[in-house]
Amino acid sequence: MQKKHMTKPQQKRTLKTRANLISAAKHIIDKDNFEALRVEDVISIARTAKGTFFAHFKDKDALMDIIIGEKIDAYLDNLEALPSPKTISDILNAFEPLVQFMASERYVFDLIIRYSGAAQIDQIGHIATTFGRQTTILESWLSEANFRNDISPELQAEGIQAFMIQAIALKFCELHNSQSINDRFSLYLNAWLKPIIAH
Amino acid sequence: MQKKHMTKPQQKRTLKTRANLISAAKHIIDKDNFEALRVEDVISIARTAKGTFFAHFKDKDALMDIIIGEKIDAYLDNLEALPSPKTISDILNAFEPLVQFMASERYVFDLIIRYSGAAQIDQIGHIATTFGRQTTILESWLSEANFRNDISPELQAEGIQAFMIQAIALKFCELHNSQSINDRFSLYLNAWLKPIIAH
Amino acid sequence: MQKKHMTKPQQKRTLKTRANLISAAKHIIDKDNFEALRVEDVISIARTAKGTFFAHFKDKDALMDIIIGEKIDAYLDNLEALPSPKTISDILNAFEPLVQFMASERYVFDLIIRYSGAAQIDQIGHIATTFGRQTTILESWLSEANFRNDISPELQAEGIQAFMIQAIALKFCELHNSQSINDRFSLYLNAWLKPIIAH
Amino acid sequence: MQKKHMTKPQQKRTLKTRANLISAAKHIIDKDNFEALRVEDVISIARTAKGTFFAHFKDKDALMDIIIGEKIDAYLDNLEALPSPKTISDILNAFEPLVQFMASERYVFDLIIRYSGAAQIDQIGHIATTFGRQTTILESWLSEANFRNDISPELQAEGIQAFMIQAIALKFCELHNSQSINDRFSLYLNAWLKPIIAH
DNA sequence: TATGAATGAGCGTTCATTCAT
DNA sequence: TATGAATGAACGCTCATTCAT
């Protein structure tokens, strides 16, 4: 055990530097916002050299991916802790904080969209991973809740994500801003999860 | 009279410059792609000064908006010429060329997402207009086709757009590239437009 | 005349900016030295944007080439104004200021060596040009002075340059610093221009 | 005794590491060239840490000095094995391989110029040593060959070196590349060693 | 001696956009 | 309208060298 600790003494230092950089970045984001983050400021607060920054993160976006991913993960943690929702309203309420965050800054939303996928397997970032997690959570909810049984919980989950994105995207579009994100999202989910078919 | 005389040739010249710039841009896009377009190259091919470019287009994105909007309009023209679709498969086939274009370049997709709405009412651009047109076309189709009558054709149309975007977005995410865009889109549309509810 | 002035109104502005940058650089060099010059400082003194600097000069060295070349040219101007030297001592005296300058900073000497030639015709810089001028001046002197008539003045000139470089180079080499540049240069020139052959 | 026992294997290991580093460097130089050599690559091929590199060599140039010095020494070995030259042509032929090497890369030439002397007496490097050796060889040749007796063999030797450098330097200057290095060197040497003075 | 993360100053780049003529 | 030089705020990079373990 102790030996293992001693074999990688650098790792501790590396981890510390990395943590310093990330917390410096978070500090800036808390004080201002994501868009206002400058690499120069991060390293100056973290008391680190520029070279060190780029040794830890491929570029500024890579750091953003980590921080945003972490935030989303925190929302998902809370979400997971909730009792399995029974109604669409429950789902909406559960997702509200995450939706608010994603819609908080156009810059953040754009980044999430851009990083929701990866060009290559080895480029899967934090944000991309959270999307997978989101699906998993939704799937388990939906299999318990039994909204629809004509389609798989997975497909239902993907639909929910599509509508979530759509609702947020339309918020950034002034043409449609008469309606709140949640109202629109609610509309979509009702139509998606509770279709009423007349025979 | 005289005034008219002096104005006309000027307008002609203006239009010519504008056309030059647009065709220069198209040339670059054909040779390379949308992302590779640089204002510098456009004006060099159009043999124009940089200032002239910005006298004709508010910014680079405005030019992009015009060119992409024009392309989308052409697809919608073809789409409109088709007989009103009766099946989901008809809808998918009708939209395929447009979907292919939107998925051709991540840059184009991002731009379309960003410009699907306009930041301000007075800035409704070409792309935003085509989205409206798309909705209108879909609405008329859906009111004739009678897929679902529990929700408005407008909502149905919005859902289709959400799923179209989702299908394309997941294409840019290698994690899900086992499935083609159209297969996924088809899956979504069936679930969206033909929900089968057991009682 | 006036028309010509009006056709290129930009050129004046361009020239002014360029002159600003160069004089800012000279200011720094005068205050400190060549090696101490920082692009950042130049633009800050010239009140110019960084982009402007690199629009005018390919890189920092290009600016150095111009300034050093200008300085060498000034020395050559003085040199040309002198009466044609009759003795080796005259030549040494004439060249002394230039030699002193070239030996003033290792950085300068290295730069001169590096830029004395050009990789391509279109890259002939100021320094490279001064070398040609130096040869021309020396040639004319040597054809009048008649030190040696077994070899062309051009060859004599090239030899003088070779020895000048050698004398300076050895100055930067502590192993040989017992002797002054000029003493060594003098030794060389006597052996080169006044060989005494016993028969 | 015991101490010796413990020291020897360590020394062996040290020498092995050093040899590894040098051979890794040579590998890179053979594959690419001197300029392309990066410490990073050397240690990666030698499977060594960066710190180890600098424990063995004061700096990167120290390694270069060793490798280039070794190469020059090999040329001088061959040169020394030759019979004492009687003609200028003999000298030229003898030096040709060395001249070719020095002219092979601008980077190498610059480094040789810079290191032909040493900044401090205690830093006399390999290259500087080879220059001394070169002079010694030339001196012995020249005292036997009796080209000129108005100046010392040492001065003659220095002149030859000056002209060798000049010939190579002009090769790096495209303006004069009509003539080969050796042709120019030959011209110089004839004028230097065999001046014909009319009385 | 070996390790390798951290350093760090400065350079060059990017390129859409502005503005004085 | 047309011109094109100037802007400018980051970003990313370079890479030999240092230093604590």
Tell me the residue type at C133: R
pLDDT tens digit sequence for B66-84: 999 999 999 999 999 999 9
Nucleotide nearest B50, from its CA to each C1': F4
pLDDT at A181 > cutoff 70: yes
Phi-psi label, residue A146: left if phi above 0, alpha if psi -120 to 50, beta otherwise: left
Q: What is the mean pLDDT of residues D34-42?
A: 95
Q: What is the mean pLDDT of residues D51-61?
A: 94
Which of B92-96, B108-112, C2-6 has the largest mean confidence? B92-96
Nucleotide nearest D55, from its CA to each C1': E1
Percent of chain C at pLDDT exceeding 70: 87
Q: Which residue did the predictor score with more confidence, A54 or D176?
A: A54
C199 to chain D, closest Cα gap in Å: 10
D44-CA/E6-C1' distance, Å: 19
Tell me what pLDDT residue D123 has: 61
Contact C116 D173 (CB under 8 A): yes
Contact C197 D198 (CB under 8 A): no
pLDDT at A62 > cutoff 90: yes
Q: What is the mean pLDDT of residues C59-80?
A: 96
Tell me what pLDDT residue B39 has: 96
pLDDT at A49 > cutoff 70: yes
* Dihedral over Cα of B115, B176, A86, B191: its sign: positive
pLDDT category of residue D104 using cuts at 50, 70 and 90: very high
A153-171 and B153-171 helices cross at what angle (nearest 10)? 100
Tell me what pLDDT residue D7 has: 45
Q: What is the mean pLDDT of residues D163-177?
A: 78
pLDDT at D176 > cutoff 60: no
Tell me what pLDDT residue C198 has: 56
pLDDT at B174 > cutoff 90: no
Q: What is the mean pLDDT of residues D78-90?
A: 92
pLDDT at D115 > cutoff 90: no
Tell me what pLDDT residue D4 has: 43
Judge if the beta carbon of B58 is closer than 7 A to nucleic acid strand F.
no
* R_g over Cα of chain C: 20
**CATH 1.10.10.60 spans which residues of chain D?**
1-57
Residues of D in contact with C172 (CB under 8 A): 117
Domain covering A61-193, topology: Tetracycline Repressor; domain 2 (1.10.357)
Per-residue three-class SS string for A96-138: HHHHHHHCCCHHHHHHHHHHCCCCCHHHCCHHHHHHHHHHHHH
- Of B116, B95, B129, B111, the closest CA to residue B34 belongs to B111
Looking at every residue in chain D, the average pLDDT score rounds to 85
Q: What is the mean pLDDT of residues B176-187?
A: 79
A138 to chain B, closest Cα gap in Å: 17
pLDDT tens digit sequence for A144-160: 888 888 899 999 999 99
Q: Which residue did the predictor score with more confidence, D145 or B63?
A: B63
pLDDT at D3 > cutoff 70: no
Of A148, A169, A174, the CB nearest to B195: A148
pTM, 2 dp: 0.87
D103 to chain C, closest Cα gap in Å: 14
Q: Which of residues 51-90 of C touch strand F (CB under 7 A)?
A: 51-52, 55-56
pLDDT at D110 > cutoff 90: no
Contact D173 C132 (CB under 8 A): no
Tell me what pLDDT residue C2 has: 42
Looking at chain B, which subunits does it touch, using at least 3 CB pairs closer than 8 Å as the criterion? A
Q: Which residue did the predictor score with more confidence, D163 or D113?
A: D163
Contact B170 A117 (CB under 8 A): yes
The whole-angstrom separation of Cα B145 and Cα A57 is 52
Nucleotide nearest D40, from its CA to each C1': F15
Nucleotide nearest C10, from its CA to each C1': F5
The whole-angstrom separation of Cα D164 and Cα D184 is 9
C126-145 and C106-115 helices cross at what angle (nearest 10)? 90
At A48, give phi and psi (nearest 5°).
-135, 160
The whole-angstrom separation of Cα A52 and Cα A55 is 5
Angle at the Cα of D95 from the Cα atoms of D91 and D99, rounded to 5 degrees: 140
Q: Are B29 and B104 in contact (CB under 8 A)?
A: no
Residue of least CA–C1' distance to F21 = A9
pLDDT tens digit sequence for C91-112: 999 999 999 999 999 899 989 9
Q: Which of residues 19-58 of C touch strand F (CB under 7 A)?
A: 47-52, 55-56
What burial letters (b/e) apply to C110-137, b meaning 16+ CB within 10 Å?
ebbbbbbbbeeeeebbbbbbbbebbbeb
Q: What is the mean pLDDT of residues D55-68?
A: 94
- Sequence-distant (6+) residues with CB within 8 A of D162 are C162, C163, C165, C166, C188
- End-to-end CA, chain A: 68
Residue of least CA–C1' distance to E13 = C51
Tell me what pLDDT residue A176 has: 56
- Sequence-distant (6+) residues with CB within 8 A of B32 are none
Judge if the beta carbon of A12 is closer than 7 A to nucleic acid strand E.
no
pLDDT at C119 > cutoff 60: no
The whole-angstrom separation of Cα B143 and Cα B152 is 8
Judge if the beta carbon of C165 is closer than 7 A to nucleic acid strand E.
no
Q: Which residue did the predictor score with more confidence, B121 or A177?
A: A177
Judge if the beta carbon of B52 is closer than 7 A to nucleic acid strand F.
yes
- At the fourth CATH level, which superfamily is domain B1-57? Homeodomain-like (1.10.10.60)
pLDDT category of residue C6 using cuts at 50, 70 and 90: very low
pLDDT at B118 > cutoff 50: no
| Distances in whole angstroms, Cα of residue B147 to Cα of each of A49, A185, A196, D103 | 61, 22, 12, 81
pLDDT category of residue B22 using cuts at 50, 70 and 90: very high
- B38 DSSP assignment: -
**CATH 1.10.357.10 spans which residues of chain B?**
61-193
pLDDT at A119 > cutoff 80: no
pLDDT tens digit sequence for A87-110: 999 999 999 999 999 999 989 998
Q: Which residue did the predictor score with more confidence, B40 or C6?
A: B40
Q: Two tokens at A64?
A: 């953003």
Tell me what pLDDT residue C121 has: 58
